[in-house]
């Protein structure tokens, strides 16, 4: 047993292992000062809610309060490990500034009231709007941090009860492209691969995915492989010198906004050299000819011209991708939040399809999620999809959903794709949405072009309802504020990026009158009197477990089939991957084994969209293109980004996150170790750009775009020339101004432009044209962390450490096989009996 400063050493001790071996166990624990494991009253199982990895853990309860956390050794996701956010983030629950009573706006000020007053105000306005304008006046914007039970209930209320098409989650900002790319290629959402593919992979390619910071425990798994015998080769695509780039054999750092050209260059080499699985393509794929024609236009020299990446480096990467016998790829925000997001992410799927690298150990692609419960918003119908991956343009699917809900199908809006978040903001702006209910998210910091967002949300004609833990920037603009219970204070399930479902149980009581989000939604449905076709209550459940049972029924026979999962089974076994049903009682590790896809026209979730225009394909078009349910390879040409650097704004600004914070810091800023590790906003530029501008480490600089400006201290980092970086976590709630800048801006989204990827509707946060100028020479180094992508390239910057308060325990377990034996992960080689084939499940047709 050792103790380590997990701010200074975020990934902890290495436990090396070789290909096909099980990942060794290492149990990480952090308890409040003065508490020992022996003093803990109860350990309550849950999983992480501060990133998408889904690390399984237990909350230590002492005298009715949270006193720490430890990783769950037996869980398939993390084998006991925890990341810095997991170890320290729980402390935010007990912050003294939690919301404990509802608030309503009276005479321009928010004043405390009781639940009846707050809910009656929301319900009365809902009724009034339904009578005068109808459901189109009401919108719901939720998060990626609630539980499946809550999303499902919200989806039923919004789609089935109120009948509005305006429902989305903030997963739109981080994961909409993951879903869109999967729907384009496989006609269905849901990750094909498994985290355990890291144990088997020969080449691991990370496309715009700074895994070391976004999913630190998964990165520990890669580091452990790299430290073991016969390590994999890592390929990194990222304009910054991230920890991933430092570990990579090949680092491609393209100009922001040129991912499609780079991917086409790589595919040009892979296809041109015949590094493809012709038999797989012939049997399981449509669209290959078009792709191979299209990528002929992108020899590495042309890609070099567009991306500013040496052609030889592209060839080298392509050789590795084309030669790998077990290729594992992941994709995240570097692609999703950039120009031509879906088109670029789809090319990664294409790479795996032309190489036949799917459905076997080590051969997987994960279109990653950014938020912990992003997958659930998508499954349960709270982010602009219908629940159970039903297809809004397939009348039979809508009819089936109406059967589950006991409604007339006409009550479920499906005349067009559900409204995405950015369009909802537009409808609020032009006045047709008059009630917007925001739960668990903070658009006044997280959406692009904040001046516009603040002005839209503070309109008089809008009733803004905000349900959250703290008085966020958004809550300060609200007319009704509902205090919510959070992780550890309520029960529910959530699903990570590799389809692993965890149960998170209530450990402590919420503060004051704060209530679980599920209870708030149930209360709303009851007060509105929402009824089904027989006049019975539409929402027939009353707590988390009964909501889960209802959701299971809704998922029956669909790809995300939960019918084989119960709360008891999750308690007993830990994480289980869907689909889990009678045929697959232990869950399903990898999808699409042997080319069995869920893309049959009658079964599939989506017919896809045009990669440039975003126009949905009509059912007949899809049937003509893919009559027999194969995977779809879609080609895409490169288009220049909509905002390009110019004389006044010579840089490209990208934004992103740091290892130590999550979302808009609502929780992480209230965890002392995390806040101290990254206390202030900073801006990064390259050494050459700094020298050209006469700037030094720590100088106070101003970054400006056509939309606003931000002041921050400069970190000279390994970012590519011509590119600036700002972390997006920092807002105003902990400044004097409260919800908006008081003088110089601090939030990165003051600067970003309102533009989104047409197929996925995901906003672009990585391609604004910006200027940089000196405000004041340094008084010391920038506050940016030193062990992450913002590592300094100049001398004299003291390393980021956490000191004694950040020391967590690590217990290495020498013989992992005695500790756990999850059925899904133990086999090193291909194991057909454990893989999933939809044709044998009765799932298709």
Interface with another protein (CB under 8 A): 133-134, 136-137, 165, 415-417, 419, 422-423, 426-427, 429-432, 610, 612-616, 639, 642, 754-756, 758, 761
Nearer to another protein, 53 or 164 (CB): 164
Shortest Å distance, C-beta 173 to another protein: 15
Shortest Å distance, C-beta 636 to another protein: 12
Cα dist from 206 to 155, 168, 211, 222, 365, whole Å: 33, 28, 8, 11, 10
Nearer to another protein, 133 or 458 (CB): 133
Shortest Å distance, C-beta 777 to another protein: 39
Nearest in space to 357 (alpha carbons), one of 322, 331, 332: 322
Exposure of 242 by Cβ count < 10 A (0-12 exposed, 13-18 middle, 19+ buried)?
buried
Residue 248 token pair? 């990579």
Rg (CA), the chain: 25
Residues contacting 823, CB < 8 A, separation 6+ = 586, 834
Is the CA virtual torsion 586, 589, 595, 596 positive or negative?
positive
Angle between helices 341-354 and 288-295 (to 10 degrees): 110
Shortest Å distance, C-beta 421 to another protein: 13
Nearer to another protein, 63 or 430 (CB): 430
Only one residue has tokens 């492989």, namely: 225
Nearest in space to 470 (alpha carbons), one of 506, 504, 507, 442: 442
Specify the pairing of strand 651-656 against strand 700-705. unpaired
Phi, psi (degrees; rounded to nearest 5) at 646: -145, -170
Residue by residue, DSSP assigns 166-233 as: -EEETHHHHTHHHHHHHHHHHSS-S-SS-TTHHHH-SEEEEES--HHHHSHHHHHHHHHHHHSSSPPE
Nearer to another protein, 609 or 665 (CB): 609
Nearer to another protein, 410 or 615 (CB): 615
Nearer to another protein, 393 or 819 (CB): 393
Shortest Å distance, C-beta 514 to another protein: 34
Shortest Å distance, C-beta 457 to another protein: 14
Residues contacting 108, CB < 8 A, separation 6+ = none
Nearer to another protein, 20 or 163 (CB): 163
Helix/strand/coil for 382: coil
Nearer to another protein, 425 or 438 (CB): 425
Gap between the Cα atoms of 164 and 568, Å rounded: 35
Shortest Å distance, C-beta 144 to another protein: 22
Shortest Å distance, C-beta 189 to another protein: 20
Nearest in space to 398 (alpha carbons), one of 388, 412, 385, 380: 412
Per 3-state DSSP, what percentage of the chain is helix, strand, and coil (rounded to 5)? 35, 20, 50
Nearer to another protein, 754 or 827 (CB): 754
Shortest Å distance, C-beta 434 to another protein: 9
Nearer to another protein, 36 or 646 (CB): 646
Residue by residue, DSSP assigns 701-737 as: EEEEETTEEEEEEEEEBSPPTTEEEEES---STTSTT
Nearer to another protein, 430 or 534 (CB): 430
Cis peptide before 431 (omega within 30 of 0): no
Shortest Å distance, C-beta 356 to another protein: 29
Shortest Å distance, C-beta 340 to another protein: 10
Only one residue has tokens 């808009």, namely: 664
Shortest Å distance, C-beta 516 to another protein: 32
Only one residue has tokens 């902990």, namely: 734
CB atoms within 10 A of CB 149: 29
Shortest Å distance, C-beta 643 to another protein: 10
- Show the DSSP H helices in 491-617 as ranges: 517-528, 544-555, 567-573
Nearer to another protein, 320 or 612 (CB): 612
Shortest Å distance, C-beta 649 to another protein: 17
Chain centroid offset of residue 367 CA: 10
Nearer to another protein, 105 or 426 (CB): 426
Nearer to another protein, 317 or 343 (CB): 343
């Amino acid at each position: 047993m050792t103790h380590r400063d997990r701010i200074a050493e975020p990934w902890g001790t290495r436990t090396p292992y070789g290909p096909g071996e099980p990942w060794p166990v290492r149990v990480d624990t952090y308890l409040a000062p003065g508490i020992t494991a022996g003093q803990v009253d109860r350990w309550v199982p849950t999983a992480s809610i501060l990133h998408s990895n889904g690390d399984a853990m237990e909350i230590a309860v002492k005298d009715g309060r949270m006193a720490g956390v430890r990783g769950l050794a037996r869980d398939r996701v993390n084998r006991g490990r925890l990341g810095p956010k997991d170890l320290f983030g729980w402390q935010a629950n007990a912050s003294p500034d939690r919301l404990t009573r509802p608030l309503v706006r009276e005479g321009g000020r928010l004043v405390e009231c009781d639940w009846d007053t707050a809910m009656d105000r929301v319900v009365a306005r809902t009724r009034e709007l339904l009578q005068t304008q109808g459901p189109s006046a009401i919108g719901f914007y939720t998060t990626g941090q609630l539980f499946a039970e809550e999303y499902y209930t919200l989806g039923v209320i919004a789609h089935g009860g109120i009948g509005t098409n305006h429902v989305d989650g903030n997963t739109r900002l981080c994961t909409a492209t993951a879903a869109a790319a999967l729907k384009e290629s496989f006609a269905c959402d849901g990750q094909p691969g498994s985290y355990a593919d890291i144990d088997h992979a020969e080449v691991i390619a990370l496309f715009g995915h700074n895994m070391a910071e976004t999913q630190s425990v998964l990165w520990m798994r890669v580091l452990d492989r790299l430290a073991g015998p016969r390590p994999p080769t890592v390929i990194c695509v990222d304009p910054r010198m991230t920890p991933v780039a430092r570990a990579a054999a090949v680092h491609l750092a393209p100009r922001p906004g040129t991912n499609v050209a780079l991917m086409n260059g790589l595919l040009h080499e892979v296809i041109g050299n015949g590094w493809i699985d012709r038999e797989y393509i012939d049997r399981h794929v449509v669209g290959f000819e078009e792709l191979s024609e299209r990528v002929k236009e992108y020899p590495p020299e042309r890609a070099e011209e567009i991306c500013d990446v040496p052609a030889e480096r592209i060839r080298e990467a392509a050789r590795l991708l084309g030669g790998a016998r077990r290729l594992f790829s992941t994709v995240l925000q570097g692609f999703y939040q950039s120009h031509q997001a879906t088109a670029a992410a789809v090319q990664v799927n294409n790479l795996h399809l032309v190489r036949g690298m799917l459905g076997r150990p080590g051969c997987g692609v994960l279109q990653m999620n950014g938020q912990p419960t992003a997958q659930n918003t998508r499954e349960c119908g709270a982010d602009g999809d219908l629940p159970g991956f039903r297809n809004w343009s397939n009348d039979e699917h809508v009819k089936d959903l109406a059967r589950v809900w006991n409604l007339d199908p006409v009550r479920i809006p499906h005349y067009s794709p559900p409204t995405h978040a950015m369009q909802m903001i537009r409808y609020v702006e032009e006045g047709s949405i008059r009630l917007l209910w925001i739960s668990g998210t903070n658009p006044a910091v997280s959406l692009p072009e904040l001046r516009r967002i603040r002005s839209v949300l503070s309109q008089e004609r809008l009733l803004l309802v905000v349900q959250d833990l703290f008085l966020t920037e958004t809550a300060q603009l609200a007319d009704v504020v509902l205090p919510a219970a959070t992780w550890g204070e309520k029960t529910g399930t959530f699903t990570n990026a590799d389809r692993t479902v965890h149960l998170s149980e209530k450990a402590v009581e919420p503060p004051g009158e704060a209530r679980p989000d599920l209870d708030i939604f149930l209360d709303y449905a009851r007060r509105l009197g929402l009824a089904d076709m027989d006049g019975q209550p539409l929402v027939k459940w009353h707590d988390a477990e009964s909501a889960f049972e209802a959701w299971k029924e809704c998922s029956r026979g669909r790809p995300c089939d939960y019918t084989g999962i119960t709360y008891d089974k999750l308690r007993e076994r830990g994480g289980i991957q869907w689909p889990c049903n009678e045929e697959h009682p232990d869950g399903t590790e990898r999808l699409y084994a042997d080319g069995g896809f869920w893309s049959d026209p009658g079964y599939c979730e989506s017919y896809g969209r045009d990669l440039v225009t975003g126009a949905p394909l009509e059912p007949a078009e899809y049937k003509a293109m893919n009559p027999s349910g194969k995977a779809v390879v879609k080609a895409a040409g490169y288009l220049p980004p909509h905002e390009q650097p110019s004389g006044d704004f010579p840089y490209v600004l990208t934004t992103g996150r740091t290892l130590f914070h999550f979302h808009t810091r609502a929780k992480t800023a209230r965890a002392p170790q995390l806040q101290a590790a990254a206390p202030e906003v900073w801006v990064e530029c390259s050494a050459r750009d700094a020298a050209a501008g006469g700037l030094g480490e720590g100088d106070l600089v101003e970054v400006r775009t056509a939309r606003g400006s931000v002041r921050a201290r400069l970190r000279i980092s390994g970012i590519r020339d011509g590119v600036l970086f700002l972390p997006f976590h920092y807002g105003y709630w902990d400044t004097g101004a409260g919800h908006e800048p008081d003088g110089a801006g601090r939030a990165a989204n003051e600067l970003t432009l309102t533009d989104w990827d047409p197929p996925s509707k995901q906003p672009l946060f990585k391609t604004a044209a910006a200027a940089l100028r000196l405000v004041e020479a340094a008084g010391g180094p920038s506050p940016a962390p030193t062990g992450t992508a913002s590592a300094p390239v100049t001398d004299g910057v003291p390393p980021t450490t956490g000191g004694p308060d950040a020391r967590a325990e690590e217990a290495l377990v020498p013989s992992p096989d005695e500790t756990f034996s999850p059925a899904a992960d133990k086999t090193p080689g291909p194991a057909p009996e454990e893989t999933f084939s939809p044709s044998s499940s009765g799932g298709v047709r």
